[in-house]
Amino acid sequence: MSRLSPEIIRSHAGQRRKMVDEQLAARGIKDLRVLEAMSQVPRHLFAQESLRHRAYGDHPLPIGENQTISQPYIVGTMTAALGLTGEEKVLEIGTGSGYQTAVVAELARQVFTIERLNNLSRKAQKVLEALHYTNIVFKMFDGTYGWPDQAPFDAILITASAKEIPESLVNQLGEGGKLTAPVGDADEQKLVVLTKTKSRISRRELGACKFVPLIGKYGWRE
Ligand code: SAM
């Protein structure tokens, strides 16, 4: 993955445009910066090579180690909920394939991303480096602790599900910040958005979803 030809990076443009029009814009995602970012980021490069032809379909895909790259609509919904303007310092828990990391890196100043599975983190780093992202910092660790040295964050994205959002992460959200996460039991969750204003937390729900579990000290047991 150290060299990617411009042709490989730019390929699948028609499928990407169709994905944005039919799966995101038509279903109510209005943030033009999110739509533009998702029409640029080459999702096929984050999928396993044998599954590249399905990378722009309306579904999640396996990425190995029993984990998944999320469905495009879910990536778009979670990212749009953060209302990024380009100035933010963002914490992502669950790097996975690195696809959503790339989308957020297009829209924010800096992304700190944590993945507990070393193989996935390494693979994601290779793709993101080959695509020349310079505003992403990686960590291999249990993300339920957050990244206290770098807190507070303007936005936090948790891409694996927990029964409750870990307090440790809510505490690392800055004033005016937003956090989005799937919350619920193992079979079904709701996408939740928290907003911190004057140290008070407001909460709204965006709909049903199904994510792999957030495993760690303040999540599910392995
Ligand atoms: N957003 C990712 C993408 O675009 O490919 C998909 C992430 S996948 C649905 C969830 C990821 O969270 C998995 O890679 C899993 O290993 C990771 N994960 C689960 N618990 C974690 C934890 N405590 N800390 C860091 N990563 C965790």
Tell how far the Cα of 23 is from the centroid of ligand 1, in angstroms: 23
Reply yes or no on whether the pLDDT at 147 is more than 80. yes
Residue 195: inside a domain: yes
Q: Which atom of ligand 1 is nearest to the CA of 143?
A: 24
How far does residue 158's CA lie from ligand 1's centre (Å)?
A: 8
Give pLDDT, residue 2: 58
Residue 95: give the domain boundaries. 6-209
> pLDDT-derived band of residue 222, with 50, 70 and 90 as boundaries?
confident
If you search the block for the tokens 């959200």, which residue do you land on? 173
* C-alpha radius of gyration, the chain, whole number: 16
Domain assignment of residue 193, yes or no = yes
Look at residue 91 in the predicted model and tell me its pLDDT. Answer: 98
Tokens of 186: 């193992």
State the CATH number of the domain containing residue 170: 3.40.50.150
Note the pLDDT tens digit of each residue in 149-176.
999 999 999 999 999 999 999 999 999 9
Tokens of 3: 């060299």
Name the region of 94 (left: φ>0; alpha: ψ -120 to 50; beta: rest): left
What's the 113 CA to ligand 1 centre distance in angstroms?
10
Select from 91, 214, 217 the residue to mutate for testing ligand 1; criterion: most ligand atoms less than 8 Å from CB: 214
- Domain membership of residue 153 (yes or no) is yes
Assign 31 to helix, strand or coil: coil
For ligand 1, which residues put their CB under 6 angstroms from it? 67-70, 93-94, 96-97, 99-100, 114-117, 120, 142-144, 159-160, 211-212, 214-216, 219
Q: Is residue 148 part of a domain?
A: yes
Helix (H) / strand (E) element for 168: namely helix 167-170
DSSP string, 185-204: -SS-EEEEEEEEETTEEEEE
Q: How confident is the model at residue 1 (pLDDT cuts 50, 70, 90)?
A: low
- Quick one: pLDDT at residue 186? 87
Contact call for residues 30 and 80 (beta carbons, < 8 A)? yes
Neighbouring CB atoms inside 10 A of 126's CB total 13
Structure tokens at 19: 């994905």
In a domain, 220, yes or no: no
Task: Check whether 202 has a pLDDT greater than 80.
Answer: yes
| Burial class of residue 46 (count of CB atoms within 10 Å of its CB; 0-12, 13-18, 19+) | buried
Parallel, antiparallel, or unpaired for β 153-158 and 173-184?
A: parallel
pLDDT digits (tens, 9 = 90+) for 24-68: 999 999 999 999 999 999 999 999 999 999 999 999 999 999 999
With 70 as the cut, is the pLDDT of residue 93 above it?
yes
**Length reported for the chain:** 222
- For the residues 64-88, what does the mean pLDDT come to? 97
- Please indicate, yes or no, if residue 48 is contained in any of the structural domains: yes
Amino acid identity, position 157: L
Structurally, how many domains does the chain consist of? Answer: 1
Which residue, among 93, 79, 65, has the nearest Cα to 158 in the 3D structure?
93
Residue 219 lies in a domain: no
Catalytic residue numbers? 70
Please report whether residue 173 resides in a domain. yes
